[in-house]
A and B are shown apart, each in its own frame.
Chain A
Amino acid sequence: MTTLDSRPVVTEVKDNYLTFTRGLLSWIFTLDHKRIGVMYLFAVLGSFFVGGVMALLVRTKLLFPGKVEWMTADEYNKAFTLHGAIMVFLVIIPSIPAALGNFVLPIMLGAKDVAFPRMNLFSFYLWVVGAACAVYSLMAGGFDTGWTFYTPYSTQYGAGGTIPVLVGVFILGFSSIFTGVNFIVTIHKLRPPGMTWFRMPLFLWALYATALIQILATPVLGITVALLVIERAFNIGIFDPSMGGDPVLFQHFFWFYSHPAVYIMILPGMGIISELIAVHSHRHIFGYRFIAFSSVAIAIFSFLVWGHHMFTSGQSPLMNVLFSAITFSVAIPSAVKVFNWLATLYKGSIAFNTPMLYALSFMFLFTIGGLTGIPLAVLSTDIHLHDTYFVVAHFHYVMMGSALIAMIGGLHHWWPKMFGVMYNEFWGKIACGLVFVGFNMTFFTQFMLGSQGMPRRYYMYQPEFQIYHHISTGGSYIMALGFLITAIYLIHSLFAGKKAPANPWGGASLEWQCTSPPPHDNFATTPRVGDCYDFSAVRWDEKQQGYVIDTEAHLAAASSGKGH
């Protein structure tokens, strides 16, 4: 740096959002969507670790059918409640939209940031406050109501930390709403010239549908937990029958949010899978419009099916019949997506990179998760299966085997873009395999446990179920090992990873057309967009060890009318 002309070096430094400014304050007060996304990412992964440890404690207890010295029934109840609440409210709901979506969405749009950067930062700090409430609730006696907070147990008996955690959930709801509002406005207002709605990457369609649910359903959760706090703190009868309330009303309120929330969790995952399968197959996505519309259809239907959580609750049989019928309508768009992904593989050029292995795992696990939803939607069989391990297995296949696996796949897909480094592919594949095998051992056995009649949330159980629990717990250890390896090679890559090219996988959407990591402003000028699933102008470049896009050819192909 002795020469005066240090300009290229300065540009190089300025050109990277991680090095654009330095110091802790530059992160704390950042308005950069990428940095906020990264902060969300590590916060979510930290929570995932805590929730995972809780799960392992629960699984370890279940090795034994009777009482164990080191964990009482009350401690067990708190452990599974904490596991569920953390995984739902702190991990899965924010994971894809707020962490990966925050990072990728504006870049995919060729924008410099989201529409409301300050609101975006505020959303993150609301998440932090919400998480702090959950931590405080542990010191105030913990909570043992299950993540569903059913009344009157939660208002009359639940452990001392119930109110703090409800306040936390209330605040986390606003965090989620702010992200949703931000994404909707960003997608409406900041699309670059040439990117029509049907030129958007499918991940954005999924995030858009998710955001709709976030802003329409989450307020109901806020109101519900607020009523719960009012009843518990001030003895005002809303849900408690001894004060003129109705506990089933709580269930209606709760599931009116929490069923759509299931799609807040899975829709972004489906969006990621659409990206992963197309990019790693180097092949145009099949049936773009069907996939896009199915996201919106799922978002709409998701509001009409909450009653299927309540087939045994005492709601009227007529309601049960209606909710069962409508529930099947959600199955169709989900099935359509799977068939379209399958058709995308057809005549593709499939590269088995780690992200793609996660995408294929997703298809395997989501197919099981979706199909096992059928006996739960069918009235007469649900009566037998409701509140057994069958339900536990089903929603883990969808929430973890699908939503979380998609998130981890997306993380591997965009990791080189986020941090400018490549991770170790060998260990990535090993870890993916361990997670896949461990997951199926853990949760497939739980289908059998459930259909054989073992109720969920049981501290002790009949000895006849022990063999299933042994396999399940063994699987959970294998899964934990897989995640441990993942954490090690990802952290290792941050310090010693090979430098990532701009486009390691051969993607054609805009985020692969800026450097890795992206510059502070993402793009110097607003980029022009072609068809983000047209890979005909993408070529492997040996020198860069990455793919390059011939932009002119790419745009020409799009304007020549090929495409969807």
Chain B
Amino acid sequence: MIPTLLSQATNDPALGAGLPVTPKTFWLPEGASTIAPEIDWIFNFINYINYFFFVLVIGIMFVFMWKYRQRGREVYARGPNHHTMLELGWTIIPTIIVVFIFFIGFKGFIIAKTVPDNAYQIDVTAAKWYWKFKYPNGAISDDLYVPAGRPVKLVMRSEDVLHSFYIRDFRVKQDVVPGRYTSLWFQADNPTEGEDFHHIFCTEFCGTGHSEMNRKVFVLPETEFDNWVVEQGRWLDKVSDEDLWWKAGPQLYRACASCHTLDGSVGTGPSWGNYDGNGNVWERTKAGSTHKIDGGKNLGDIIGPGKEYETPEGYLRESILNPGKHLVDPYGNVMPTFKGQLSDRGIQALIDMMKNLDKFNKDGTVKPDAIPNAGGAAGAAK
């Protein structure tokens, strides 16, 4: 059994490539990742040791129960009080066994923890009670799509409480902790067929919807995955112009939310709401505005026909792509540029959202009664 272990004990994905999916057994669900056979081998190996000791202990117990049952109440039994060699024996032998078991478990753990350099990174956000997956090209999805035959690394964070990300068929699990990033990796070699998928479960108790915090993993053949992720990256293009402000705006605003509040309260950056008496971000961004920028100047002085920005939109666009050019008092130059990350259409969506700010809750979600054609449209808000 040891050689089997060593041959599987490798984190070289090339050696693991093409491993078939192992079928569901009495104890274990199907194994669909490259580390699953290693974990399953250890689990089964421990099970066999356990069967042996269980049968040994309980078998002896039943034999003694039968053989030494009381025959009449007078019987006083005489047996050995102790036997030092025997007792040392059953202390030392189990010690050797568990040291060995620790070692193989340790080895499996190191493999499961060592992320291959060429891993494809997907960012995971957990919140009550959903998972969000973001791919390197900016594409996002509710279910997880991964390329077959390629190591995938998930970098995870939580927006509220503890969650735990678990794909049982891949034998991977990792808590998702607010305030820090955690990660795990896996490689699935076999594409899921058609409607088939692997379960994602949340395994750390997170409240009412804990048991519904389930999503699916689809493993796609590599070229199919590449097409999918490009297609998925164009989600913004699929939103119609008139729905941009409430379908795309809030989605993009989540990247702004950590610094810019919507209700006027103080944040790392100026609130989009009313915080200096000049109205919200759209209301104060206009010709003649007395909103103070750049150490005492009026914002209105740079907006308007013939001024630095012909239109308010021009100033807002500059503030997103080149945030250091003009600074709202008393804030410093701390905002990163979003050049290259936001398309023109994405900027349009954000500006459209600013124009309709009274239709949003302070957490950035759109008020349900403000949604155009409210019937049925609410479900599409993502």
Contacts from A to B (Cβ < 8 Å):
73-74, 77, 144-146, 150-153, 156-157, 241-242, 245-248, 281-290, 312-314, 317, 320-321, 324-325, 328, 331-332, 335-336, 338-340, 342-352, 360, 363-364, 367-368, 371-372, 374-375, 377-384, 386-388, 448, 451-453, 455-462, 506, 535-536, 538-540, 547, 563-564
Question: Can you report 15 residue pairs joining A to B where beta carbons are below 8 Å apart?
Answer: A152-B160, A247-B162, A286-B81, A321-B106, A339-B57, A346-B68, A347-B80, A360-B61, A377-B102, A382-B105, A451-B28, A453-B168, A455-B166, A538-B76, A539-B74
Tell me whether A383 and B39 are in contact in the complex, defined as CB-CB below 8 angstroms, given that A150-B205, A350-B65, A367-B57 are known contacts: yes
Q: Mark B71-112, 1 if CB is under 8 A from A, else 0.
A: 101111111111100110011001100110110111111111
Contacts of B81 in A (CB 8 A): 284-288, 563-564
A287 and B82 form a contact (CB under 8 A): yes
Q: Looking at the complex, which one of B27, B64, B73, B77 makes contact with A535 (CB distance below 8 Å)?
A: B77
Contacts of B119 in A (CB 8 A): none
Contacts of B177 in A (CB 8 A): 241, 247-248, 313-314
A388 and B203 form a contact (CB under 8 A): yes
CB distance from B128 to the nearest CB of A (A): 8
- C-alpha spacing A538/B86, complex, angstroms: 29
Contacts from B to A (Cβ < 8 Å):
24, 26-29, 38-39, 42-43, 46-47, 49-50, 53-54, 57-58, 60-61, 64-65, 68-71, 73-83, 86-87, 90-91, 94-95, 98-99, 101-102, 104-113, 160-162, 164, 166, 168-169, 171-175, 177-180, 182, 199, 201-212
Tell me whether A157 and B102 are in contact in the complex, defined as CB-CB below 8 angstroms, given that A312-B175, A332-B91, A340-B87 are known contacts: no
A320 and B61 form a contact (CB under 8 A): no
Q: Looking at the complex, which one of A283, A325, A380 makes contact with B38 (CB distance below 8 Å)?
A: A380
Most buried by B among A241, A245, A314: A314
Contacts of B98 in A (CB 8 A): 328, 331-332, 374
- C-alpha spacing A344/B95, complex, angstroms: 22
CB distance from B35 to the nearest CB of A (A): 8
- C-alpha spacing A457/B164, complex, angstroms: 13
B94 and A383 form a contact (CB under 8 A): no
Most buried by B among A281, A345, A381, A387: A381
CB distance from B153 to the nearest CB of A (A): 15
- C-alpha spacing A291/B54, complex, angstroms: 20
Contacts of B208 in A (CB 8 A): 73-74, 77
Q: Looking at the complex, which one of A246, A349, A458 makes contact with B70 (CB distance below 8 Å)?
A: A349
CB distance from B16 to the nearest CB of A (A): 15
Q: Looking at the complex, which one of A152, A317, A347, A349 makes contact with B71 (CB distance below 8 Å)?
A: A349
CB distance from A553 to the nearest CB of B (A): 11
A286 and B79 form a contact (CB under 8 A): yes
- C-alpha spacing A563/B80, complex, angstroms: 10
B43 and A324 form a contact (CB under 8 A): no
B50 and A374 form a contact (CB under 8 A): yes
Contacts of A380 in B (CB 8 A): 38-39, 42, 105-109, 111-112
CB distance from B184 to the nearest CB of A (A): 9
CB distance from A7 to the nearest CB of B (A): 35
Contacts of B105 in A (CB 8 A): 324, 377-382
A242 and B179 form a contact (CB under 8 A): yes
Tell me whether A387 and B173 are in contact in the complex, defined as CB-CB below 8 angstroms, given that A242-B179, A247-B179, A345-B61 are known contacts: yes
With A331-B98, A375-B47 given, name 15 new contacts (CB 8 A): A282-B77, A286-B81, A287-B81, A288-B81, A317-B110, A336-B90, A342-B57, A352-B70, A378-B46, A380-B42, A380-B107, A387-B173, A451-B28, A457-B205, A540-B74
Tell me whether A387 and B203 are in contact in the complex, defined as CB-CB below 8 angstroms, given that A314-B175, A375-B43, A459-B211 are known contacts: yes
Tell me whether A282 and B75 are in contact in the complex, defined as CB-CB below 8 angstroms, given that A314-B182, A347-B68, A375-B43 are known contacts: yes
- C-alpha spacing A540/B71, complex, angstroms: 13
- C-alpha spacing A351/B68, complex, angstroms: 9
B78 and A347 form a contact (CB under 8 A): yes
3 closest A-B pairs by CB: A241-B179, A380-B108, A453-B168
Tell me whether A346 and B173 are in contact in the complex, defined as CB-CB below 8 angstroms, given that A286-B82, A374-B46 are known contacts: no
- C-alpha spacing A169/B253, complex, angstroms: 43
Contacts of B76 in A (CB 8 A): 282, 349, 535-536, 538
- C-alpha spacing A452/B43, complex, angstroms: 12
Q: Looking at the complex, which one of B109, B160, B206 makes contact with A383 (CB distance below 8 Å)?
A: B109
Tell me whether A372 and B69 are in contact in the complex, defined as CB-CB below 8 angstroms, given that A317-B109, A378-B102 are known contacts: no
CB distance from A349 to the nearest CB of B (A): 4
Contacts of B160 in A (CB 8 A): 152, 156-157
A324 and B106 form a contact (CB under 8 A): yes
Tell me whether A247 and B178 are in contact in the complex, defined as CB-CB below 8 angstroms, given that A284-B81, A348-B68 are known contacts: yes
Q: Looking at the complex, which one of A347, A352, A386 makes contact with B203 (CB distance below 8 Å)?
A: A386
Contacts of A372 in B (CB 8 A): 50
CB distance from B25 to the nearest CB of A (A): 9
B69 and A350 form a contact (CB under 8 A): yes
B27 and A451 form a contact (CB under 8 A): yes
CB distance from A406 to the nearest CB of B (A): 16
- C-alpha spacing A245/B178, complex, angstroms: 10
- C-alpha spacing A27/B180, complex, angstroms: 55
Tell me whether A452 and B162 are in contact in the complex, defined as CB-CB below 8 angstroms, given that A335-B94, A342-B57, A378-B46 are known contacts: no
Contacts of B65 in A (CB 8 A): 345, 350, 352, 360
Q: Looking at the complex, which one of A324, A379, A452, A536 makes contact with B29 (CB distance below 8 Å)?
A: A452
CB distance from A490 to the nearest CB of B (A): 24
- C-alpha spacing A150/B87, complex, angstroms: 42
Q: Looking at the complex, which one of B43, B99, B199, B210 makes contact with A453 (CB distance below 8 Å)?
A: B199
Q: Looking at the complex, which one of B38, B70, B161, B173 makes contact with A153 (CB distance below 8 Å)?
A: B161
CB distance from A298 to the nearest CB of B (A): 13
B79 and A451 form a contact (CB under 8 A): no
Q: Which partner residue on chain A sits nearest B156 by CB separation?
A: A314
Contacts of B39 in A (CB 8 A): 380-381, 383-384
A157 and B161 form a contact (CB under 8 A): yes
